[in-house]
Amino acid sequence: MDFWGSAIGYDKSVARWNQTHSDIKINYAQIAAGSAGGYAKMQNAVKAGNAPCLGQVGYDTLPDFVVTGAAQDISQYANADKSQFTPWTWQMTGFGGKVFGIPVDAGPEALFYRADLFEQYGITPPKTWSEFAADAEKVHAANPAAYLTTTPQDAYDLGALTWQAGGKWFGTGDNQWQVTIDSPTTRQVADYWQGLLGKHLATSESTLDTAWFKDVQNGKVLSLVSAVWAAPLIAQGLPGLSGKWAVAPMPQWTPGQAATGSRGGSATVVLTGCKYPQQATEFADWLSTNSDSVTNLIKNTGIYPAATSGQDLPAVNQPSAYFGGQNIYQVFKTAAANISPSWGWGPTMVQVQSEMKHGLKLAGTGQGTIPQAVTAVQADTVTAMKSQGLSVSGG
C-alpha cells in the first residue's frame, strides 16, 4: 500500500509499522511539499487512476481534495477513533458528517517572548490584547528602534488570530459554502493590528527569516505570536539566546478566557481509488497514536501530536534548557485543549493565501491597510469559488 508525503521522518514510522505488521506493508515515498507541487501530484494521480492509498495533506488544503473528489470517505472505519484526538483536529478531517483522514499534528499558538528584555522594559506577559497594545507603546517609547512584535504575515497568521477571537472564515450549510472572511470578528482583529501598525508599535517584517533573527538578536523585536513548531526554529536560529526565551499563553480578547487558534497541522488522508480503505485507515490511526510512531514524529518531524495520548509523551512533556528550564509544552497542551472546533478552511486556500499575503505586505509598506486586504480577499474568494462551479453565499 503506497503512502505519499513531504515530511522528513515519516519513513521511520513506516519502517516501524512494517517491522511489527506482516499483513499490511506500507511503501512511503517522500514527495515535494504540497505548495511546491506535492498536492498537484496527488490530485493528478487520482485523476489518472494510479494514486497511492494514502497522502499527507494539510488541514487547510483538505477541503480542496474533498471538493475535487480526490479524498475518499472513510467514516465507517474512522469514526471509532474520534475520541483519541483533540476535537478541533478531528473536525479538520471531516465535512458534511463524513471523515476523509486521520489527524496527525496540531499547531496551537502561544506567545514566545524574550524574558530578559521583558524584564528590562518592566513588562510581564500580557493577559489581554489591550495590555499587549499598552506594552507595545511602553517598549517603543523607551526605545524607538524596538518593537514588541510583528504584524500577521499571511492568511494563516490572520486566520489563526481570527480563530482565537471566535470567528470563522468558511462554513457549509443549505448545500452551499459560506464565506465570512470579511466578518465583524475578522475586522476586530484586522483593526487591532492595523492600529499597532499605524502607530508604528509593531514591525511588518517577515518572521523567522534571516533579517528577523538578526533583529531579535539585537533586541529590536521582543516577541512572536506563533505555533508550537516555532520553538525549534527559534532555538536553531538563535542559539546564543538560550535561556533568554519563554512561552506564555496568548493574550485574550476577554479577560479570564483561555482561547487560542491553530496554525498548521495535517492529516493522513485516504485518497480516492484506494482499494483497501479499511487497512489504510488502520495504518493512519496507528501512525498518529502509537507511542513509538508519535515519539519518532515528534523528534524527527517536529510535530505536536493531535492525539491526546501523544501530548503526554516525554518528548513533549519535559523542561527545555533553551527556554530557561520551562516546560513550554504544558502551555501548548492547555492551548490545544482550548481551540474551538468550529473553524474550517475553504476549498481555494492557495488563492486566499496568495492574495492575503500580498495585501498584508502592502499594508506593511503603507500602500494599503489590513482591513482593506480582508475585504478584497473576501470578494475574490467568492468569485474564485463560483468560478469552480461551487454554490456560495457571502458575496
CA angle 188, 193, 198 (to 5 degrees): 120
| pLDDT-wise least confident of 73-77, 169-173, 185-189 | 169-173
The answer, yes or no, to whether residue 183 has pLDDT greater than 90, is: yes
Q: Where in the chain is the domain with CATH 3.40.190.10?
A: 2-106+265-316, 109-260+343-393
Q: d(Cα 3, Cα 284) in Å, to the nearest integer?
A: 10
Beta strands 27-30 and 2-5, pairing class: parallel
The per-residue DSSP string of 353-387 comes to HHHHHHHHHHHHTTSS-HHHHHHHHHHHHHHHHHH
pLDDT tens string 235-262: 999 999 999 999 999 999 999 999 999 9
pLDDT tens string 80-137: 999 999 999 999 999 888 999 999 999 999 999 999 999 999 999 999 999 999 999 9
Q: Which residue intervals of the chain are DSSP H helices?
A: 10-20, 38-48, 62-67, 75-78, 87-92, 115-121, 129-142, 155-164, 184-198, 210-217, 230-237, 277-289, 291-296, 328-337, 349-364, 370-387
Q: What is the pTM of this model?
A: 0.94
Query: CATH classification of 109-260+343-393 is 3.40.190.10, yes or no?
Result: yes
Q: d(Cα 2, Cα 202) in Å, to the nearest integer?
A: 47
pLDDT tens string 267-301: 999 999 999 999 999 999 999 999 999 999 999 99
Q: Phi/psi at 85 (nearest 5 deg)?
A: -125, 155
pLDDT at 174: 84
- Per-residue confidence at 394, pLDDT binned at 50, 70, 90? confident
pLDDT tens string 191-203: 999 999 999 999 9
The CATH code for residues 2-106+265-316 is: 3.40.190.10
Sign of CA dihedral 332, 334, 335, 341: positive
pLDDT at 36: 87
The answer, yes or no, to whether residue 395 has pLDDT greater than 70, is: no
pLDDT at 35: 84
Most distant CA atoms of the chain, gap in Å: 66
Placement of cell 462551479 in the chain:
389
- Measuring CA to CA, how many Å separate 268 from each of 33, 102, 292? 14, 5, 17
In the predicted model, what is the mean pLDDT of residues 335-352?
94
